[in-house]
């Protein structure tokens, strides 16, 4: 088993490529790997409950984290997050990508 | 065995254009704070992150002086990070030489080295992990 960390920087309402990343994350998870999606920059816009996105990632067992600074910059409060998404600091991303046997992909 | 961890980042975005640069600098800061060695290979426009000729400016729209504005420059961030990463943890920052020449960007802050993609290959081989941050 490998670990995969997908770093999503893009606004889902601007870039349809974000859907490709979501599908890839789920597909990798279904193959038995540990998968984390870390939302940062405009990627955190998908973390809002009102955006009605990314629920399928949690259902598939993918961990979804949202960068705290990116959330604050965009005025998104913790209570606005979808319940399956956890606010996180950039140090959590660093911890995740310095694990052995981990593939980190920036999008 | 308590082997030191090392993270390599490839940066490509020029300064003041993309939030990628800010996030990359945050990742480097966090890694150094955790005692993780960091290699940076700056490619394409990212070689200008360390450009010494960057100058903080006043903001005539807001009517603020240079001192009041406290305009942050990426060269200052790079210098500060290199000071943090002098030994353990260690930060190694290599600018792509051809990218530097193309842009006339050789006047960089102290501690930044000149190299080639071969250095990036070596860095990646020696690292716990490598993160490539491309431009769009």
ipTM of the complex: 0.95
Which residue among B20, B129, B132 places its CB closest to the CB of A102? B129
Which is more confident, B3 or A19?
A: A19
d(CA B57, CA B65): 8
β-strand A63-67 against A85-88: which pairing, if any? parallel
Q: Check which CATH number belongs to the domain holding A98 and give it.
A: 3.40.1260.10
Q: Is B111 left (phi over 0), alpha (psi -120 to 50) or beta?
A: left
Confidence bin at B117 (pLDDT 50/70/90)? very high
Q: At what angle do helices B19-33 and A90-97 cross, to 10 degrees?
A: 70
A69/B20 Cβ within 8 A: no
Edge to edge, what strands does the sheet with A3-8 contain? A85-88, A63-67, A34-39, A3-8, A102-106
Detail the DSSP E strand segments found in chain B. Answer: 6-11, 37-42, 91-96, 112-115, 129-133
Q: Whole-model pTM?
A: 0.95
pLDDT tens per residue across span A24-57: 999 999 999 999 999 999 999 999 999 988 989 9
Kindly indicate whether the domain formed by B6-133 is annotated with CATH number 3.40.1260.10.
Answer: yes
B30/A91 Cβ within 8 A: yes
| Average pLDDT value for residue range B117-134 | 97
Confidence at residue A44, expressed as pLDDT on a 0 to 100 scale: 97
A15 to each of A4, A58, A64, B67, B80, how far by Cα in Å?
Answer: 22, 21, 19, 39, 34
A100/B26 Cβ within 8 A: no
For A52, the domain range is 3-106
pLDDT tens per residue across span B76-116: 999 999 999 999 999 999 999 999 999 999 999 999 999 99
Taking CB atoms and an 8 Å cutoff, what residues of chain A touch B20?
Answer: 9, 41
d(CA A51, CA A57): 14
A49 to each of A19, A66, B46, B68, how far by Cα in Å?
Answer: 17, 13, 35, 39
Q: How many helices (H) and strands (E) does chain B have?
A: 5, 5
């Amino acid at each position: 088993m490998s670990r995969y960390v997908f770093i999503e920087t893009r606004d889902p309402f601007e870039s349809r490529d974000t859907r490709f990343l979501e599908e890839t994350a789920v597909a990798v998870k279904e193959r038995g790997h540990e998968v984390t999606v870390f939302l940062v920059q405009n990627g955190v816009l998908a973390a809002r409950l009102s955006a009605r996105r990314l629920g399928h990632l949690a259902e598939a067992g993918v961990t979804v984290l949202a960068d705290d600074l990116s959330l604050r910059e965009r005025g998104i409060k913790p209570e606005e997050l979808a319940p399956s998404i956890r606010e996180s600091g950039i140090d959590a991303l660093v911890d995740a990508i310095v694990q052995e046997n981990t593939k980190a992909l920036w999008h | 065995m308590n082997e030191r961890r090392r993270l390599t980042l490839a940066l490509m975005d020029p300064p003041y254009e993309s939030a990628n640069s800010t996030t990359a600098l945050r990742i480097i800061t966090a890694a150094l704070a955790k005692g993780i060695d960091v290699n940076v290979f700056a490619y394409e426009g990212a070689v200008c992150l360390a450009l010494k000729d960057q100058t903080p400016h006043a903001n005539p729209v807001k009517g603020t002086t240079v001192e009041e504005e406290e305009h942050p420059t990426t060269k200052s961030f790079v210098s500060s990070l290199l000071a943090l990463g002098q030994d353990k943890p260690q930060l190694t920052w290599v600018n792509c030489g051809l990218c530097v020449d193309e842009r006339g960007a050789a006047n960089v802050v102290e501690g930044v080295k000149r190299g080639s993609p071969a250095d990036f290959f070596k860095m990646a081989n020696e690292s716990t992990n490598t993160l490539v941050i491309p431009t769009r």
